[in-house]
Amino acid sequence: MNTKLKGAVLALFSLFILGTAEAQSINNSKLGKGLQFVAADSSFSLKFGTRFQMLYQGGINNSTNQLDDRFLIRRARLKFEGFAYSPKLEYKIELGLSNSDIGSDIPSMTNNADNIILDAVAKWNFSPGWELWVGQTKLPGNRERIISSQKMQFVDRSLLNSRFNIDRDAGLQLHHEHAFGNVIVREIGSISMGEGRDITVNNAGGYDYTAKVEVFPLGAFQSDGAYVGSDISREQTPKLAIAAAYDFNDNAARSRGQLGSFLSDERDLGTLFVDAMFKYRGFSAMAEYANSTAHSGGPVVSRTDAGKVNETFVTGNAFNIQGGYLFPTNWEVAGRYTTYNPAAVTSLSSQEQYTLGLSKYIVGHSLKVQSDVTLQDQPGRENSYQFRLQMEVAL
């Protein structure tokens, strides 16, 4: 982040703290819940929170047979949310400050500026069971991506997510929820730009269209637990969520739709997601399947003179399954298996990963220490191992 931008963010933060401390009252403030304010005339509310992750990551380099490791701030975030004018009009703003959050290899597409805006969205509850979202936020794709990076069961998300998630985009989303007895059904439809978050250039291709249906046959989870890693709430009755989503990115310009490099040609990308989450008395399990296809010409865009793939869209399929048990002492042991199978015509290689995790939840997901070790198996290469240790602090 450049010096001027850093100064502006710090100045705004300081003014916010000073102004709200003098003019408003603080309530319901405790670790993990942020600072909460309500205007004297109840015309708006604001909750401010901040969080960061400190990560150590190491692994044996097979070519040198030596340890490659690093220590970094994986994520650092500022979050603002509340309502404006009426409790039926909510908003959320989230900013990313770490290099991992704001780094971009496409400066020409972001006006040569740091890409710090993660979420900036308004949510209008215009009728019972209906919400219209306007702005930039996560698309209704795979469950693992929608789960906040603060509330994950492992140090980070799986290989399925890194290959196929549709991430964030700017546009409109329509959310609907209704119940049939204890069974809850949610439907979401969205129209977005298709190039990802905070792109400042004109639309490079067509729009992106996403539809999702989610069913809760055993009723609602506690504390929105269908989108929280681990059974932190210790569900006293079995809870199950099943979802399917399809995303169609018309004339996608980036290799992974909303993510990846901008390529020299465009393709229609279609991505199917199917997932499920189950929780009961400290035990949790989640499974996901993703399949992405490039239409109108296939995934390969160009090859070198020697015939080697030079530019390609990321397509193929992946499967991820994970589960864990949270003991009464708030220690959790979890395991994960992920397999990725790329389209055969691309230069990408298939891979399997086996991950074992150990976590200590001190104050839920707001203060925790997580570790995991992963075996990475790629055909034609020696198996490699990765170890990670991370601390999360969320105020």
CATH 2.40.160.10 at 3-394, yes or no: yes
* Per-residue pLDDT band at 113 (split at 50, 70, 90): confident
Strand 262-280 with 283-294, pairing: antiparallel
Which pair of tokens denotes residue 388?
């990670």
Domain boundaries defined on the chain: 3-394
Rounded to 5 degrees, φ, ψ at 190 are: -140, 150
Q: Tell me: the pLDDT tens digits for 268-320?
A: 999 999 999 999 999 999 999 999 999 888 898 888 877 788 889 999 999 99
**Gap between the Cα atoms of 48 and 394, Å rounded:** 11
Angle at 3 between CA 92 and CA 104, to 5 degrees: 60
Q: Is the pTM of this model over 0.85?
A: yes
Rounded to 5 degrees, φ, ψ at 18 are: -65, -45
Look at residue 202 and tell me whether its pLDDT is greater than 80. Answer: no
Least confident of 33-47, 119-133, 140-154, 194-208: 194-208
Tally Cβ neighbours within 10 Å of residue 162.
Answer: 16
> Residue 314: which of 352, 271, 363 has the closest Cα?
271
**Gap between the Cα atoms of 153 and 77, Å rounded:** 19
Look at residue 107 and tell me whether its pLDDT is greater than 70. Answer: no
Q: Tell me: the pLDDT tens digits for 339-354?
A: 999 987 777 889 999 9
The sign of the torsion formed by the CA atoms of 277, 282, 220, 236 equals positive
* Per-residue pLDDT band at 13 (split at 50, 70, 90): low
Q: What pLDDT score does 64 carry?
A: 76
